[in-house]
């Protein structure tokens, strides 16, 4: 089984205390932070830029799983890598030479990742599996935290897990106690959670609970 990663999404953190929130998540047992970058064009929201990644890089030691929800990632990867983004994920739906951007990220010593939206067929990432270290499945329509989980993405995940038993498969959107189980059952080993974890009374307890249920449920339904 690939290593379990639990990755709080700082989009849901208290923006007035962001460095403190990053440290709180690390202290609570997070394996990485998920950083949502939005350009207001690929998705109808504008979120944060390289300086927030730079701040998080200085605040914590854990990886920064940086999710570029941008139309033209080829113009932005350099700035985010310089700021400390790693892994760095682009969308397969972006307007770029996907393979060239993924290979450029890897050549700069950063783990490349590919993300697909709920309605995008899983076959769209098959040509790039040798170029990535992570495939991120959106289980909400990207742009905002706090949305409801879209279960129709689960068969896509199971199909890729059967094809790539050792690849890091992550899921992003609407993850909570219940959806963690079903996502793990379908082969997910990396879990992004924003509202659930930053809204929890005890983030450390919730992360520990997630880890236990993932271990018990992993790939039971692939």
Nearest to 117 by CA among 99, 144, 142: 142
Cβ partners under 8 Å of residue 212, min gap 6: none
Annotation marks residue 51 as catalytic: no
Contacts of 167 (CB under 8 A, 6+ apart): 2, 129, 132, 133, 134, 135, 160
- Return the range that interacts with Zn ion (CB under 5 A); candidates 17-25, 78-86, 149-157, 165-173: 165-173
Which residue matches tokens 């950083």? 35
Residue 67 found at the interface with Zn ion (CB under 5 A): yes
**Judged by CB under 5 A, does residue 65 bind Zn ion?**
no
Which of 172, 184, 206, 210 binds Zn ion (CB under 5 A)? It is 172
User: Minimum distance between the CB of residue 196 and ligand DX5, rounded to whole angstroms?
Assistant: 6
Choose the binding region for Zn ion from 56-64, 67-75, 92-100, 207-215 (rule: CB under 5 A): 67-75
Catalytic residue among 31, 36, 39, 65: 36
Please report, as ranges, the residues that interact with ligand DX5 according to CB under 6 A: 9, 11-12, 34, 36, 67, 69, 140, 142-143, 145-147, 172-175, 192-196
Residues forming beta bridges with residue 171, ordered by sequence position? 137, 191
- Answer with the entry of Zn ion, ligand DX5, none that 186 interacts with (C-beta below 5 to 8 A by kind): none
Shortest Cβ distance from residue 107 to ligand DX5 (Å)?
26
The active-site residue out of 39, 97, 172, 202 is: 172
CA distances from 104 to 110, 133, 149 (A): 9, 13, 32
CA 182, distance to chain mean position in Å, is 17
Cα(221)–Cα(188) distance, integer angstroms: 11
Query: Which spans of this chain sit near Zn ion (rule: CB under 5 A)?
Result: 36, 67, 172
Q: Please identify every residue annotated as catalytic.
A: 36, 172
């Amino acid at each position: 089984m690939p290593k379990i990663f639990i990755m709080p999404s700082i989009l849901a953190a208290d923006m007035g205390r962001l460095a403190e929130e990053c440290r709180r998540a690390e202290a609570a047992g997070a394996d990485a932070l998920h950083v949502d970058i939005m350009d207001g064009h690929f998705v109808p929201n504008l979120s944060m830029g390289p300086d927030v990644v730079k701040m998080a890089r200085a605040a914590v030691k854990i990886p920064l799983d940086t999710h570029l929800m941008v139309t033209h990632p080829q113009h932005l990867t350099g700035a985010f890598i310089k700021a400390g983004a790693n892994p760095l994920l682009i969308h397969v739906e972006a307007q770029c030479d996907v393979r060239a951007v993924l290979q450029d990220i890897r050549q700069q010593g950063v783990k490349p990742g590919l993300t697909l939206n709920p309605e995008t067929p899983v076959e769209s990432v098959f040509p790039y599996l040798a170029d990535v270290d992570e495939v991120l499945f959106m289980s909400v329509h990207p742009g905002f935290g706090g949305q409801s989980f879209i279960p129709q993405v689960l068969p896509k995940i199971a199909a890729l897990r059967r094809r790539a038993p050792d690849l890091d498969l992550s899921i992003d959107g609407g993850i909570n106690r219940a959806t963690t189980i079903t996502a793990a059952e379908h082969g997910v080993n990396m879990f992004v959670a924003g509202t659930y974890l930053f809204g929890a009374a005890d983030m450390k307890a919730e992360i520990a609970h997630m880890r236990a249920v993932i271990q018990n449920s992993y790939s039971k339904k692939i």
